[in-house]
Amino acid sequence: MSEAHLRHWPKGLPQHLSIPAVNLYDNVEVAARRFPDKDFLIFYGGRLSFGEFRRQCECIAGFLQQRCGVQAGDRVLLDMQNSPQFALAFYAILRAGGVVVPVNPMNRTAELAHYVRDSGAQVAFCGQELLEQVQPLLGQGLQRVIVAALGEYAAGESPIPLPPLLAEPTQELRAQGLVAWREMLDAQLRAGPLVGGPDDLCVMPYTSGTTGQPKGCMHTHRSVMSTVAAGAEWVRAPSDNTVLAVLPFFHVTGMQMSLNASLYRCNTVVLLARWDRDAAAQCVQHWRVGSWQAISTMVVDFLMNPRIAEYDLSSIWNMGGGGAAMPDAVAARLQELCGITYMEGYGMTETMAPTHINPPGRCKAQCLGIPIFDTHARVVDPLSLREVAQGEVGEILVSGPQIMRGYWNQPQASEQALVELDGRRWLRTGDLARVDEDGYYFMVDRLKRMINASGYKVWPAEVETLMYQHPDIVEACVVGTSDAHRGETVKAFVVLRPQARGRVSERDIVEWAHGHMAAYKSPRVVEFVDTLPKSGTGKVMWRALQERERAAQAAAG
């Protein structure tokens, strides 16, 4: 830790934070003992207390062990929208001794197949609206799929309008290997003793690099607990705080800061299955929401609502997030409307959310913040790994209790990402930043080839691999291009087969891609080219195309 940033350390907070050395499921036990009748989850008027949450987790864990054969260390896929069922499945997997593999519910079958194959998961949870994408994998790795109709946990008469997703009736399941959520609960099976300590695997979210398929980040109960406790302590959330959960739980920020930290603090969580700016404002007003995590694009949309002045938002005392810098004009509007400063932070899937957060009361605009409890960070030359001078640009290296153990079954990738320097284990983030005179970190660019679309990380190599499944595509190169709403979006330069030229349009490729991959990574823009630039060794020179796109965007203003 630098002396500069310690001058701005939050007043009254220790620099060292003792992390409970337990299984993450212990937080369920503690909350249920302390507040058995207090609301934990509120879902479109439906309520689930801490005590009932624990009871259902125990039943689900018993079913996983006795009917699905889940044993200690087994990976279990979790493919759901934000819902009480997601939270229950998450903690039930831990209670059964398994490892949670959360996946983006926008993923299609081809993408899910990789997660199943790579993780070795034989059991999955999914929302019934996603079953069409998951069911083809039964017998192709998956042996059992537990299907939830998310609307079952909403109230009969919700004070917040239900999205169409929740209004769908519960489907009848006929195929072998499919189990209805209600059938699982009705079995009333009991789980065995809790197994798994702080250094056992807990959660394995997937991330990706500049090449190859997405990789599983191995996180232990200890590394997950470190950012759960740190996030809650940094903002000093009281136990009677009400949290609005709008960021997706499959993503580490929503998972840690909205779900897991709230359970740790015994907070009540108001859930939205999908982002809706009017529904969010109604939730704040109806349940007197105190805090919520939101990426900048959500805040922009929330504040642009022409009806925003109609809602009572006076209960909000904290709002923060990351993914993209918060524009000055939006931050000013938030301050004017709610009297709060948006608190920006920085983290990665490899670090289970934050390594840096702005100090409360001392936030800087478009800033990653300072390293949090027990976290060391430095900015280095990417080649020599020597620390650069204050103010110079270099790659961020981080070291702390939240760093992953490594990538699942990827020893070479782990060795490249994790380095030993000065007796510490450091993660190479691949992000370029500078540090100011106060020890605050500011993002400059990305060393990795990554596109940041509305806070979602998109890796071009993965998108290109999927695009090659199109029968008329010979070559494809994916780059980032500017977008007024998303900040950055996905563009593909495509070489068509000769017989397809004039017959297949750019719009045809866009629509095909949207049907074959998650919407956030699907190219929104396609440009046909005769050839792609290549190096002497035959590699596609993606940097040249990226620079060309940036130049074109700059020329267009």
Average pLDDT of the segment spanning 144-152: 97
pLDDT of residue 210: 46
What's the topology of domain 454-555?
GMP Synthetase; Chain A, domain 3 (3.30.300)
Mean pLDDT of the chain: 92
**d(Cα 115, Cα 127) in Å, to the nearest integer?**
17
Residue type, 318: N
Token pair listed for 253? 């920020």
Q: How confident is the model over 438-456, as pLDDT tens digits?
A: 999 998 877 777 788 888 8
**Which 3 state secondary structure label does DSSP give 367?**
coil
| Half-sphere CA count of 520, side-chain side, radius 13 A | 15
Q: How confident is the model over 455-486, as pLDDT tens digits?
A: 887 878 788 878 888 989 988 999 999 887 77
Average pLDDT of the segment spanning 290-314: 90
Neighbours of 301 (CB within 10 A): 16
What's the topology of domain 51-196?
Rossmann fold (3.40.50)
Pair 288, 99: CB distance under 8 Å: no
Domain ranges of the chain: 51-196, 454-555
219/471: higher pLDDT: 219
Q: Please, what is the end-to-end C-alpha distance for the chain in angstroms?
A: 41
Q: Which of 350, 367, 357 is nearest to 418 (CA)?
A: 350
Q: How confident is the model over 13-34, as pLDDT tens digits?
A: 999 999 999 999 999 999 999 9
Average pLDDT of the segment spanning 390-400: 95
Neighbours of 335 (CB within 10 A): 12
| Half-sphere CA count of 113, side-chain side, radius 13 A | 11
537 pLDDT more than 60: no
Rg (CA), the chain: 23
Average pLDDT of the segment spanning 201-205: 98
Average pLDDT of the segment spanning 396-411: 97
pLDDT band at 407 (very low <50, low <70, confident <90, very high): very high
Q: How far is CA 290 from the centre of its chain?
A: 22
Average pLDDT of the segment spanning 215-223: 98
Q: Where are the beta strands (DSSP E) in 10-58?
A: 39-43, 46-49
For the entire predicted model, the pTM comes to 0.86
Residue type, 181: W
**d(Cα 481, Cα 130) in Å, to the nearest integer?**
30
Lowest-pLDDT range, 20-29, 122-131, 485-494?
485-494
Neighbours of 180 (CB within 10 A): 18
Q: How confident is the model over 327-336, as pLDDT tens digits?
A: 777 888 899 8
